[in-house]
Structure 1
């Protein structure tokens, strides 16, 4: 199969707003992959599992060979899609840190030998789906809905739709891989609130007419 025949559905689950930095990353990636047939699909829902399932169905209608999930709070290199395709795996992606302290990387490395393969990949038990390439044939082996939530009845914790997808895919015989080099180039866009320090007195707070107030 030549690159010109390869059809990729780029699925972006989101709410009503996309981050500007994400949009620029997506635009650069699309420009860098002009030899492929891309269909960028935005599925809006307040429930991310529904957005992902809708994205899979639209990718199937497009008759895609691969689906690339890119969450709307991601920043990524322009060669992201090409680098993931080169691995020629059923499920391969990148991980990234949580947006709350201590900012641990998401996902779980498969227990046992965690050494990299010859291709530089690490096998995972679970991986987040914010930057994940999935061969469409994977979904043919899974019952709908492909993405669903679950709960740990002992702890009461909700298990995300991405980890449940990984569990079900591995149970169906698929292996899940992480590209650690790409993971170091992924950004997870968050939000930070800025406040005037309490030690600053009211007399030293600049007024709106002060030029530095808009910085």
Structure 2
């Protein structure tokens, strides 16, 4: 049975739009288009009337002009479509605020125990929960039941020795003397906000953890 700390008073946070490189790229393409137009008109205006440019050359230049124009229009259309899609996705994701999402990202420890869902290899006869702090330092390693589907962390005995903060957790396991593949642990965290990140819609979880929508495993009502 999944057990998590109850959440209360959940309020919808704002949906924010990020600063991306899209505007810079669009401005550069538009600038290239305008520069090409100025060069072409200057060439036509200053050509020698007695020896005008070859019509084939003009045809090639006009074809290039057309390609540049289409590139600008295509870029604007794609930008508009992406913006519209991200906005729709963020609006839809705003319904998750106040709910709980299961994921394998960092655990925000606030002094209470978290329920972790393990995926230990069936062949394992020994397993350890490994705790890594935000600086990448291993700060704890605890023997756990290799047959357990969920565990509590920190335990009552460990709680006082674990300061609040973000932690990355995983399980190391062995079959005899053979170390098996490292496995992640999943847990539920409450959603406080939805933002438009550089790579699309992200949800902000307890403790400030930002999670791409694609990393969600499941979502449920707050427990």
Establish whether TM, by shorter chain, passes 0.5.
no
**Shorter-chain TM-score range:** under 0.3
User: Normalising to structure 1: TM-score of the pair?
Assistant: 0.24
TM-score between the two structures when normalised by the length of structure 2: 0.23
Structure with a larger share of its residues in strand = 2
Greater Rg by CA: 2
Larger RCO: 1 or 2 (CA < 8 Å, sep 6+): 2
